[in-house]
Amino acid sequence: MNGAAGRSREGVGPPKANNGSMYFLHLALRRARAYLALLAGVVLLASLLFHLAEGVPLGEALYFIVATVTTVGYGDVVPHTPAGRVVAGGAAVVGLVLIFGIGMGIVEEKVAQVTTGRWSLVRRRATEMSGHLIVCGYGRLGAVVVEQLRGEGVRDVVVIERDEEKAQRLVDHGVVAIPGDALEEEVLREAGLERARALVATFSDDAANVYLTLEALGVRPELRVIAAASTREAERALYRAGAASVISPTLVAGGMLARHALDLEGAPDKGAKENQGSV
């Protein structure tokens, strides 16, 4: 009994993940490394070409290309051949694109991340996912659903949770979680509804689950919706709304409790059996 209760309490917390909290940092570092590698490659290639075209030492060619790419242009080294001028002009154009185009874009993105948190990265990750599962709500039931999915090795899960602090804790544990109201079409689209394999509605409010089912199927009619219901009336309403599967945790748990009670009632008392054996 205590073990079951312990498992239940564990299900309420965020799933365990060893390195998930580092995902978004690794993503940012990977993009920065790729940008720097591209910039370094352009500078080195241009330096080599300028060295060959002008016949100047490689170190002087590198100095000239760096000054050109960064638009410093000291003027102490200038190209004297048509080929050298072509290399210099190309390096200047590429440098402008890399530094003031791509580079400034990356800087702006980092500033946005500082001001808005990591939600932009989270939403981008969700837009990159396909064939994933969307879990709406991270209450007691939603937490168990996510825990079970991850326990089965399913990592392509997007959670929509109204409570931003809960969503942040999920992100810190490597779960793609979007803060917002799952009843809003825009939030569902941010979670990748058009590419999702299925949606799980875990709200404790039956009316909310019915509305969510209608909203999701209105955007994507072929989507498979699995919904929770607290009563048989809500179960029928969800099926009418288009849900593919409806589960009533209350009815399921009640049926299991009743079966266990009947099993205990039919089983002979352990103490009576011991007494009979001693006679």
Dig out the tokens for 138 from the structure: 């991270």
Question: Tell me, what's the pLDDT at 75?
Answer: 62
Dig out the tokens for 183 from the structure: 């009843």
- CB distance 228 to 222 below 8 Å: no
Cβ neighbours, 10 Å, residue 69: 21
Dig out the tokens for 110 from the structure: 């980092």
Residue 120 has pLDDT above 70, yes or no: yes
Closest C-alpha among 29, 17, 27, 28 to residue 172 = 17
Cα angle 221-225-226, degrees, rounded to a multiple of 5? 170
The set of residues, in sequence order, having a beta carbon less than 8 Å from that of 202 and lying 6+ positions away, is 135, 136, 137, 138, 139, 141, 142, 145, 209, 228
Cβ neighbours, 10 Å, residue 215: 18
Question: Tell me, what's the pLDDT at 127?
Answer: 82
pLDDT interval class at 93 (50, 70, 90): low
What are the DSSP E strand ranges found in the chain?
Answer: 133-136, 157-161, 176-179, 198-201, 224-228, 245-247
Domains of the chain: 20-116 (1.10.287.70), 131-260 (3.40.50.720)
Question: Tell me, what's the pLDDT at 5?
Answer: 39
Residue 166 has pLDDT above 80, yes or no: yes
DSSP 52-98: HHH---HHHHHHHHHHHHTT---SSS---SHHHHHHHHHHHHHHHII
Of 69-78, 88-97, 175-184, 244-253, least confident by mean pLDDT is 69-78
3-state helix, strand, coil in the chain (%, to 5): 65, 10, 25
For 170-194, what is the mean pLDDT? 91
**For the segment 214-224, what is each residue's pLDDT rounded down to a tens digit?**
999 999 999 99
Residue 112 has pLDDT above 80, yes or no: no
Question: Tell me, what's the pLDDT at 20?
Answer: 42
Higher pLDDT, 138 or 128: 138
pTM: 0.55
Residue 205 has pLDDT above 90, yes or no: yes
DSSP SS3 for 160: strand
* N- to C-terminal Cα separation, the chain: 33
- CB distance 175 to 17 below 8 Å: yes
- Mean pLDDT of the chain, nearest integer: 77
Cβ neighbours, 10 Å, residue 270: 8
Higher pLDDT, 73 or 200: 200
pLDDT interval class at 185 (50, 70, 90): very high
- CB distance 171 to 111 below 8 Å: no
**For the segment 5-61, what is each residue's pLDDT rounded down to a tens digit?**
333 333 434 444 434 445 555 656 666 677 777 777 877 887 888 778 878 888 887
Residue 1 has pLDDT above 60, yes or no: no
Higher pLDDT, 208 or 261: 208
Helix (H) or strand (E) holding 22: none
Question: Tell me, what's the pLDDT at 239?
Answer: 96
Of 9-13, 136-140, 180-184, least confident by mean pLDDT is 9-13
Of 79-93, 151-165, 213-227, least confident by mean pLDDT is 79-93
CA dist 151 and 22 (Å) reads 20
- CB distance 177 to 114 below 8 Å: no
For 230-237, what is the mean pLDDT? 93
Question: Tell me, what's the pLDDT at 199?
Answer: 97
Dig out the tokens for 65 from the structure: 């290309």
For 70-81, what is the mean pLDDT? 63
